[in-house]
Structure 1
């Protein structure tokens, strides 16, 4: 009987180790999108935006938190494609979700406002 209990305990430990750690944030396609943005010109801004928007939707559907910087990067992509209002919304969202980004997001918001005035 003790051998069965020991075997069951070992099997439980082995199988639970296979599950892997659950990450705090939903990363999905964010990392590959950023890498693609800085390494190649193969994908258009609209393709990169679509990948990040899909990541946000997957995070919402799975009740997960998006990765830090995702909204900021999406905002920069929006700004580069002439969608200033959506860019500002993404910068505000990044600032709200990650208060430590407030200084940089405020800077980007001010830069965007100056460009709109010109």
Structure 2
């Protein structure tokens, strides 16, 4: 009988752990924005993307979750597309600070996005 109860308790704990919908990051509008950017280019202009990304960053801070990798890089590229090199560099640098493993990639983005425009 004890083994049966133990098996039930363990099963409930395992399934409740699997059912958790908590994400490590605050994704906000980012995934949908990336999808739209690649599948319907031009539908969401850089200025709107900047607003959406800034809002996501603010909401992430409000709920105490980190933003996912790529958000600051995307934001930096949108600033560059709008001609704001200073904010573009700041955002790309922030991406490198948060995710140092992206340094080589971000350095390439900085070189191509800011030095050639």
TM-score (norm 2): 0.78
Give the C-alpha shift of residue 54 in structure 1.
0.7
Whole-angstrom distance in 2 between the partners of 1:89 and 1:58: 20
Give the C-alpha shift of residue 59 in structure 1.
0.6
TM-score (norm 1): 0.78
Deviation per CA, 1:72-111: give whole Å up to 9, x if none. Answer: 0111111011111100001100000001001111222233
RMSD over equivalenced CA pairs, Å:
2.5
Q: For structure 1, which runs of at least 5 residues remain unmatched after alignment?
A: none
The 5 A counterparts of 1:1-118 are 16=16, 20-40=20-40, 41-115=42-116
Q: For structure 2, which runs of at least 5 residues remain unmatched after alignment?
A: none
User: CA distance change for structure 1 residues 16 and 111 in 2, over 3 Å: closer, same or farther?
Assistant: same
CA contact (8 A) 2:77 2:113 kept: no
Aligned residues: 111
CA contact (8 A) 1:36 1:43 kept: yes
